[in-house]
Amino acid sequence: MRELGTQNLLGYLRFLKNSKGEVLIAVVNGIIYGLSSGFGIPMILKYASNILFSGEEISSLMLGGVVLLPMFVMFVRGLSGFLSSYYFASCGQHIVESLRVMIFKKIQRLHLGFFNDYPPSELISRSINASTIIQTNLVDISSDIITQMMVLFGATSYLAYLCVCQSELLVLLLFLTALPLFIFPIRKIGHRLRQKSGQMQGRTAAIIDKLNHNLAAIKEVRAFGLEYQETLRYRDACHAFSEAFLKVVKYKLIISPIVEILSAMGVGFTMFYAYERGLKLEIFMSLATALYFGYDAIKRLGDISNKIQMSMAAVDRIEAILNEPEKIVDPENPIYVDKLKGDIQFQNVSFSYNFGRDVLQEINVAIQHGKTYALVGGSGAGKSTFVNMILRFYDPDRGNVLIDGIDLREMAKHDLRQNIGYVPQDPALINDTIFNNIIWGNPDASRDEVVRAAQKAYAHDFILQMPNGYDTVIGESGNCLSGGQRQRIALARVFLRNCPILIFDEATSALDSESQRAIYNAIKTIARDKTVIMISHRFSMMTIVDEVFVFENGKIVEQGLPRNLLVGNTLYRDLYEKQRLEKS
């Protein structure tokens, strides 16, 4: 379902439903500014010139009025212009804030396959840069449409008034006949500008991507001596952006001289006409001023076309996210679940990524709560996909996954995942304190509960050795910690969560042997009333496992007790012997 139409940029104004007062102030002051410019200034110029250059003696009171009236009009014009611009800017900020939050919420709901097509740098560019372009241009568009239309209306109205007073309609006709000349070049250039603006925004994403990749792999870059090559890649991305940027600038600026030339032609004809008709000085000056404001308003309205086209390119990029279908959705009337027991069933489950080869093929297994299961097999055998099904990161193409007899597709995703504690191989840590990283698992937990969870994860001792203990900031992605320390923080987080189902995806791979044994003992202790599923290539953890599932080519080819699978010619035994030989 489309959330926003690409043909209706002003549809974003719906975000201002709670800012009607600010919109009203901005619009009213824009009207005042436009009328005081297009009508007020020419009228006062005519009035003042008629008095000051009449050759007659004028009183002090009259002179004071002539001096103060322009000052008053300019004061009103300046104040209304400020208020209009400020409140339109405020409205624009409300729009971009709401838009960015909407994009972020949408990203939280999208399936994991979406992120294969849109890397983080691309999403950052679209959600931040594109929304800023929309904010800036929408503010200018809204403001200019009001103010410049009123300037044009005021100038045209004054010309009409002047022509009626002078019984001369030809002056007005000369002004109006030039208007259609502006339409064709503005439309033609606007179409090209939209294309070039989209390309420029894509180049922006490429720069962010190069910088992001370099910073994420800064150690590898230094270790392999790739600084020069990385600099060249970044320079090329910057150069491509510069070329795209200059094309956008060219199409943005070219409208101005076109309008200036056409405006000069109109003014030239008017001057010739004024000379031929012998118009008075005050009439000519006010006429020229009105023409200036009128043509200037047309030029600025022409700029609106540019801004609309640039904004439409940004809208296209944002709507690619907003209109992405949500494949993993909650049912219309989900079955309410609170605390699950943790019995899991796979019934004839098959699944493939992007309609390729099945990575899971007709999986039929039953997992009982209170037991610990190990998933073993070669890389790409289907182990991670198996646990992704339990987390409902993906839905099966065929078959059903059930917990406590309830199909996962009949539960709300939030209810399901509140019952699962998950520790990936490379846990995500935030640039915050150790305490705040652990409490992610349960935001309502007390400090004592956080400490107890850290103790269970054998993280408490090393945390106390940090400069500020639990209040130590660990850097982006926890780069101030070792790999083993990061994994123990992630384990403490999931222990704090206290869920009936625990999933560990190579969660102890970075731990030393002593820490690993301690963690296994902790898992064994907390697993007595929980369902524990562990993906691991380390056979040392089999001492705490009740049952093993051996994966090969998307199938569970063997299952049973670890000691039983070591008997006979089994794949499990081959994997075990291979690891034993590697260690020796």
pLDDT at 569 over 70: no
- Whether residue 356 is contained in a domain is answered as yes
Q: Between 225 and 465, name the one with better pLDDT.
A: 465
Number of domains in the chain: 3
User: Average pLDDT of 502-509?
Assistant: 79
Q: Which of 290, 322, 354 is the last residue of a domain?
A: 322
- Per residue, the 3-state secondary structure of 41-66, as one string, reads HHHHHHHHHHHHCCCCCCCHHHHHHH
- Whether residue 458 is contained in a domain is answered as yes
Any idea what the CATH number is for the domain that residue 147 is in? 1.20.1560.10
- Give the model's pLDDT for residue 21: 86
pLDDT at 401 over 80: yes
Q: Does residue 465 share a domain with residue 443? A: yes
- Whether residue 516 is contained in a domain is answered as no
Query: What does pTM read for this prediction?
Result: 0.69
Q: pLDDT tens for residues 485-500?
A: 888 888 888 888 888 9
Q: Does residue 160 share a domain with residue 263? A: yes
Highest mean pLDDT among 225-239, 243-257, 448-462 belongs to 448-462
pLDDT at 200 over 90: no
- Give the model's pLDDT for residue 409: 94
User: Average pLDDT of 508-532?
Assistant: 74
- Whether residue 92 is contained in a domain is answered as yes
* Mean pLDDT for the chain overall: 79
Structure tokens at 33: 């500014």
Q: Does residue 268 share a domain with residue 348? A: no
Q: Which of 322, 351, 376 is the last residue of a domain?
A: 322
Cα–Cα dist 550/374, whole Å: 8
Structure tokens at 312: 């439409």
User: Average pLDDT of 304-321?
Assistant: 74
Q: Does residue 344 share a domain with residue 210? A: no
Residue 278 φ/ψ region, left for φ over 0, alpha for ψ in the -120 to 50 degree band, beta for the rest: left
Place of tokens 């901005």: 26
Q: Does residue 387 share a domain with residue 437? A: no
Q: Does residue 285 share a domain with residue 147? A: yes
Q: What distance lies between CA 408 and its chain's CA centroid?
A: 29
Q: Does residue 112 share a domain with residue 161? A: yes
- Whether residue 520 is contained in a domain is answered as no
Q: Beta strand 358-367 with 531-535: parallel, antiparallel or unpaired?
A: unpaired
**Helix 447-456 and helix 483-497, axial crossing angle in degrees, nearest 10:** 120
| Domain encompassing residue 255 | 18-322
- Give the model's pLDDT for residue 74: 83
- Give the model's pLDDT for residue 531: 92
- Give the model's pLDDT for residue 8: 55
- Whether residue 6 is contained in a domain is answered as no
Q: Does residue 382 share a domain with residue 254? A: no
Structure tokens at 128: 């931040």
* Position 216 confidence tier, pLDDT thresholds 50, 70, 90: low
* Position 97 confidence tier, pLDDT thresholds 50, 70, 90: confident
Residue 569 is classified by DSSP as S
- Give the model's pLDDT for residue 498: 83
Q: Between 515 and 96, name the one with better pLDDT.
A: 96
- Whether residue 7 is contained in a domain is answered as no
Q: Between 470 and 241, name the one with better pLDDT.
A: 470
- Give the model's pLDDT for residue 399: 94
> Range with the lowest mean pLDDT among 64-68, 207-211, 335-339?
64-68
User: Average pLDDT of 105-125?
Assistant: 79
- Give the model's pLDDT for residue 538: 74
- Exposure of 478 by Cβ count < 10 A (0-12 exposed, 13-18 middle, 19+ buried)? buried
pLDDT at 254 over 90: no
User: Average pLDDT of 414-435?
Assistant: 87
Q: Does residue 427 share a domain with residue 464? A: yes
Q: pLDDT tens for residues 160-199?
A: 777 777 655 555 555 555 555 555 666 666 667 667 777 7
pLDDT at 396 over 90: yes
- Give the model's pLDDT for residue 71: 81
At 254, the amino acid letter reads I
Any idea what the CATH number is for the domain that residue 456 is in? 3.40.50.300
Cα–Cα dist 157/165, whole Å: 12
User: Contact at 8 Å (CB) between 575 and 536?
Assistant: no
pLDDT at 365 over 90: yes
- Whether residue 349 is contained in a domain is answered as yes
- Give the model's pLDDT for residue 1: 36
Q: Does residue 358 share a domain with residue 484? A: no
Structure tokens at 102: 């909407």
pLDDT at 57 over 90: no
User: Average pLDDT of 350-373?
Assistant: 87
- Give the model's pLDDT for residue 175: 56
> Range with the lowest mean pLDDT among 84-93, 461-470, 551-560?
84-93
Structure tokens at 529: 């009333």
- Give the model's pLDDT for residue 304: 74
- Give the model's pLDDT for residue 256: 65
Q: Does residue 203 share a domain with residue 68? A: yes
Q: Does residue 476 share a domain with residue 441? A: yes
Cα–Cα dist 486/488, whole Å: 5
Q: Which of 263, 294, 322 is the last residue of a domain?
A: 322
- Give the model's pLDDT for residue 550: 92
